């Protein structure tokens, strides 16, 4: 436990590589107990942190302004750290195969600055075997050191839920693993400094890697089941939310709801598992089927919008559709892998270029990544259709009496409301004569 004791005494430093939605809260949390270096390739992002600005909204500007984290984009500063945590994203390629580029780059950066006696812990979501078979060789090659003799490695999957102010980092049980008993205990002790909920010591690195992709795949499958039900109930003219509310009165109901499944975890992690399974000769059936259902929900909702416009006697190509929300989840600025984009793409097939409103999304990021110019909510007027795509607080607070302000001047039955997250009172809207549809 020599390294742990030196970290507690602030004789050695912790380095967090990757300062996004996972790495930044981790760095801030550890900085309350230890000396921390926060490294990111993006000089722009590092400069925001140095100015006391939290672009992720995970911990807030005040926490950034008060933290002792040494933010840097200079990799040579990592040489002064002995405990390295890699928290970079693991996206997928266009063919749905894993993109390990960010992990490879991070491993090279750590390797170039690795010193004897260090521990490297990976938090990035990967399929079983990546840490030992992919990352360790990179660390050894770039450092000239030998794993197991000069440095050790572990894996602790991130479990941060972006935008969640209740289930925060410190309150979520942490899975930890190490390449041997010594590294496992060192890693567990370091994480126990900040994880109030405690840690679970996995039997091996591969077990910890598998646990991460499985827990997100399980959630993905459950949501896919609800999405499939929603599509069937739509044909049956049955309200899915009413069915779920009735079902949830049973004590062991799982309380999943239909919706868009995007983001950097649930919408991606199952493909990592599928990829490795197929390499071993097993073709996924349940997990892949769930992915196909969830990946198709944007198109399904887009088609539903078109049908409602037609039933409201709208000229589809001339209809003004306003989409409220484009982040992958509510009250979070993250637009990565947002499935709202699939709705937009579906509408554009019919010649509709929707107006998009999102008070949480970064305007520059939306412009750069998706070529979308965001509009302010108060600027919305003359709409034919409002699509509540993301359940942001701001949209939940929309007063029913003010809905008409967003629409053009015509009868309520020609005012189309598509409520993807079922956040509006259906009965009241239907009583007022609106053309309403929910998933």
**Residues annotated as catalytic (active site), given as ranges:** 265
CB 420 within 8 A of CB 385: no
Backbone angles phi, psi at 321, to 5 degrees: -105, 130
At 41, list the tokens.
């390739």
> Of 106, 147, 131, 282, which Cα lies nearest the Cα of 206?
131
Question: What residues contact residue 134 under an 8 Å CB cut-off, 6+ apart?
Answer: 100, 103, 104, 126
**How does 120-153 read in b/e, with b if 16+ C-beta sit within 10 Å?**
bbbbbbbbbebbbebbbebbbebbebebeebbbb
Question: Which secondary-structure segment (H or E) carries 272?
Answer: helix 269-279
CB 405 within 8 A of CB 375: no
Task: Give the C-alpha separation, 19 to 156, whole Å.
Answer: 16
At 299, list the tokens.
């198109």
Task: Give the C-alpha separation, 21 to 29, whole Å.
Answer: 13
Task: Report the first-to-last Cα separation within the chain, whole angstroms.
Answer: 53
């Amino acid at each position: 436990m020599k390294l742990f004791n030196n970290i507690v005494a602030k004789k050695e430093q912790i380095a967090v590589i990757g300062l996004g939605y996972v790495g930044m809260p981790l760095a801030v949390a550890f900085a309350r107990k230890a000396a921390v270096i926060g490294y990111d390739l993006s000089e722009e992002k590092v400069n925001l942190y140095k100015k006391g600005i939290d672009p992720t909204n995970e911990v807030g500007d005040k926490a950034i302004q008060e933290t002792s984290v040494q933010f840097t984009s200079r990799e040579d500063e990592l040489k002064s750290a002995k405990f390295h945590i890699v928290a970079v994203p693991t996206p997928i390629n266009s063919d749905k195969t894993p993109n390990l580029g960010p992990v490879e780059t991070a491993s090279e950066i750590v390797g170039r600055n690795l010193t004897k006696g260090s521990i490297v812990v990976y938090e990035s979501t990967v399929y079983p075997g990546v840490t030992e078979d992919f990352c360790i060789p990179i660390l050894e090659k770039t450092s000239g050191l030998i794993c197991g003799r000069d440095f050790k490695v572990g894996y602790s999957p991130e479990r941060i839920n972006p935008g969640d102010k209740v289930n925060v980092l410190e309150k979520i049980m942490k899975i930890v693993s190490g390449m041997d008993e010594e590294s496992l205990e060192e890693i567990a002790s370091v994480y126990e400094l900040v994880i109030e909920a405690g840690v679970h010591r996995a039997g091996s690195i591969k077990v910890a890697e598998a646990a991460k992709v499985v827990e997100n795949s399980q959630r993905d499958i459950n949501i896919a089941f609800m999405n499939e039900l929603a599509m069937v109930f739509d044909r049956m003219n049955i309200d899915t939310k009413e069915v779920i509310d009735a079902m949830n009165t049973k004590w062991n109901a799982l309380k999943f709801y239909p919706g868009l499944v995007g983001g950097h975890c649930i919408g991606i992690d199952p493909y990592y598992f599928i990829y490795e399974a197929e390499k071993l000769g097993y073709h996924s059936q349940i997990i892949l089927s769930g992915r196909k259902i969830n990946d198709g929900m944007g198109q399904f909702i887009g088609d539903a919008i078109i049908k409602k416009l037609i039933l409201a006697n709208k000229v589809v190509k001339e209809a003004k559709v306003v989409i409220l929300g484009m982040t992958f989840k509510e009250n979070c600025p993250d637009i990565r892998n947002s499935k709202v984009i699939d709705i937009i793409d579906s509408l554009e097939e019919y010649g509709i270029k929707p107006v998009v409103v999102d008070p949480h999304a970064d305007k520059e990021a939306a412009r750069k990544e998706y070529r979308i110019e965001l509009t302010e909510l108060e600027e919305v007027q003359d709409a034919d259709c409002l699509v509540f795509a993301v359940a942001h607080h701001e949209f939940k607070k929309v007063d029913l009496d003010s809905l008409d302000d967003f629409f053009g001047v015509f009868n309520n039955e020609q005012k189309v409301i598509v409520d993807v997250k079922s956040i509006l009172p259906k009965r009241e809207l239907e009583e007022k004569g609106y053309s309403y549809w929910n998933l």
